Structure 1
Amino acid sequence: MKILCISDQIDPLVYSSAIKERFKDVDMVLSAGDLPMDYLDFIISSLNRPLLFVFGNHNLEDLNFFNKEMNLPAGRGFGATHIGSRIVIEEGMIVAGLGGSMRYNRGENQFTNFQMYMEIFKLIPAMLFNRLFRGRFLDVLLTHASPMDIHDRDDPCHRGFKAFLWFMRVFKPKYLVHGHIHLYDLSAVRTTGYNKTQVINAYSHYIIDTGENKL
Structure 2
Amino acid sequence: MKILCISDHIDPLVYSNSIKERFKDIDMVLSAGDLPMEYLEFIVSSLNKSLFFVFGNHNLNELYRYKTSGMIGYRNWISEDATYGSGAVHIGSKARMEEGLIIAGLGGSRRYNRGENQYTEFQMNFEIIKLIPILIINRIFRGRFLDILLTHAAPRGIHDKEDPCHRGFKAFLWFMRVFKPKYLIHGHIHLYDLSDLRTTRYKDTLVVNAFSHYIIEIGEK
Which TM-score band applies after superposition, normalised by the shorter structure?
A: over 0.9
Helix, strand or coil at the partner of 1:72 = coil
Distance, in Å, in 2 between the alignment partners of 1:70 and 1:123 is: 18
Distance, in Å, in 2 between the alignment partners of 1:12 and 1:49 is: 19
Uncovered stretches (5+) of structure 1, i.e. residues with no partner: none
Match of 1:9 in 2: 9
Helix, strand or coil at the partner of 2:38 = helix
Which residue of 122, 126, 138 corresponds with 2:146? 138
Aligned residues with identical type, % of pairs: 72
Match of 1:71 in 2: 82
TM value normalised by structure 2: 0.92
**CA RMSD, aligned part only?**
1.2
CA contact (8 A) 1:44 1:74 kept: no
Q: Is 1:184 the equivalent of 2:195?
A: no
Tell me which moved more, 184-193 or 3-12. Answer: 184-193
1:107-146 → structure 2 map (5 Å cutoff): 107-146=115-154
Match of 1:24 in 2: 24
Which residue of 142, 161, 166 corresponds with 1:158? 166
TM-aligned CA deviation for residue 70 of structure 1: 6.3
Summarize deviations over 1:51-109 as a string: whole Å, max 9, x none. Answer: 0000000011100111158621547xxx2110110001111110000000000011110
Distance, in Å, in 2 between the alignment partners of 1:190 and 1:151 is: 8
TM-aligned CA deviation for residue 185 of structure 1: 1.3
TM-aligned CA deviation for residue 188 of structure 1: 1.2
Uncovered stretches (5+) of structure 2, i.e. residues with no partner: 69-79
Match of 2:34 in 1: 34
Helix, strand or coil at the partner of 1:163 = helix
Summarize deviations over 1:155-205 as a string: whole Å, max 9, x none. Answer: 000000000000000000000000000000133110000000000000000
CA contact (8 A) 1:45 1:74 kept: no
TM value normalised by structure 1: 0.95
Distance, in Å, in 1 between the alignment partners of 2:45 and 2:143 is: 34
Distance, in Å, in 1 between the alignment partners of 2:81 and 2:116 is: 18
Match of 2:76 in 1: none
Summarize deviations over 1:121-168 as a string: whole Å, max 9, x none. Answer: 010000000000000000000000000000000100000000000000
Distance, in Å, in 1 between the alignment partners of 2:179 and 2:90 is: 21
Helix, strand or coil at the partner of 2:136 = helix
List structure 1 segments (4+ residues) > 4 angstroms apart after TM superposition: none
Q: Matched residue pairs, number?
A: 210
- What letter is aligned with 1:184? Y
Match of 1:51 in 2: 51
Which residue of 67, 92, 101 corresponds with 1:93? 101
Q: Is 1:197 the equivalent of 2:205?
A: yes
Distance, in Å, in 1 between the alignment partners of 2:219 and 2:17 is: 27
